């Protein structure tokens, strides 16, 4: 029976006998390449106002601008730190760092989610519907719940379920990028139509858990294929 340390050292891309699941390895890095490309697009297309104090979008952010700093820092931590949690090498060789990054991720989610609801509530004064605030409450609850279950399972020593809930948690967090990429690529954010934005956000939030479970399904199938067959 492997010890807790041994079990934690077994990576999501490893199989008994130490043979890596190369198919999953390649797919994982392809997915993260797409995610980082989305991050780059959003930074250029949506977040240029950060270094431009004269950008007109500051008029929109004026009522809640002081909430943007903790919200933005927490969101950046969630988006940039989560990929490290799926790093097989980091988890196997630097378990303390892996746990520290995981702890920061959990704290960032606890900051990000409620402030996101508050900001969306302020947006009602600028044309957003109350239904949009309700959507943000649901989306925030999904992020908090999936992250909380990931934390609970790792505290109980269940690495498999911890990984599964982390997939779901990150899938929910990625709606931040997906919404902005969809709106930007298809020219739906200039000018902003709150009804269109809300529809896109609802769609991405509704698909998040499904996408997380698809990732889990692909991972489990790769694991099964990589296991040596028993005579």
Q: Is 212 helix (H, G, I), strand (E, B) or coil?
A: helix
Residue closest to 44 by CA, chosen among 184, 170, 157, 166? 184
* pTM, two decimal places: 0.82
Q: Is 56 helix (H, G, I), strand (E, B) or coil?
A: coil
Residue closest to 218 by CA, chosen among 144, 143, 163, 159? 163
Q: Give the C-alpha distances (Å, rounded to integers) separating 24 from 30, 142, 143, 225.
A: 10, 26, 25, 10
pLDDT in tens, 2-44: 444 444 433 344 444 444 455 556 777 888 899 999 999 998 8
pLDDT in tens, 135-192: 999 999 999 999 999 999 999 999 999 999 999 999 999 999 999 999 999 999 888 8
Axis crossing angle, helix 95-123 with helix 130-155, rounded to the nearest 10: 160
Q: What is the pLDDT of residue 22?
A: 55
């Amino acid at each position: 029976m492997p010890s807790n340390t041994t079990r934690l050292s077994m990576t999501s891309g490893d199989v008994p006998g130490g043979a890596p699941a190369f198919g999953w390895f390649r797919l994982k890095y392809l997915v993260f390449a797409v995610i980082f490309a989305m991050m780059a697009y959003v930074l250029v297309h949506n977040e240029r106002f950060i270094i431009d104090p004269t950008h007109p979008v500051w008029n929109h952010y004026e009522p809640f601008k002081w909430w943007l700093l903790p919200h933005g820092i927490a969101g950046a931590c969630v988006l940039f730190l989560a990929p490290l949690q799926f790093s097989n090498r980091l988890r196997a060789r630097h378990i303390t760092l892996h746990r520290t990054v995981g702890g920061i991720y959990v704290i960032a989610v606890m900051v990000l989610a409620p402030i996101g609801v508050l900001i969306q509530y302020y947006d009602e004064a600028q044309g957003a519907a109350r239904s949009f605030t309700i959507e943000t409450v649901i989306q925030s609850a999904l992020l908090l719940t999936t992250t909380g279950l990931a934390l609970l399972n790792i505290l109980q020593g269940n690495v498999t379920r911890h990984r599964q809930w982390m997939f779901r948690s990150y899938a929910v967090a990625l709606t931040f990028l997906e919404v902005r990429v969809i709106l930007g690529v298809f020219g739906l954010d200039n000018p902003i139509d709150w009804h269109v934005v809300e529809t896109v956000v609802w769609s991405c939030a509704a698909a998040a858990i499904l996408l997380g479970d698809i990732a889990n399904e692909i991972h489990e199938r790769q694991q099964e294929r990589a296991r040596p067959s028993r005579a």
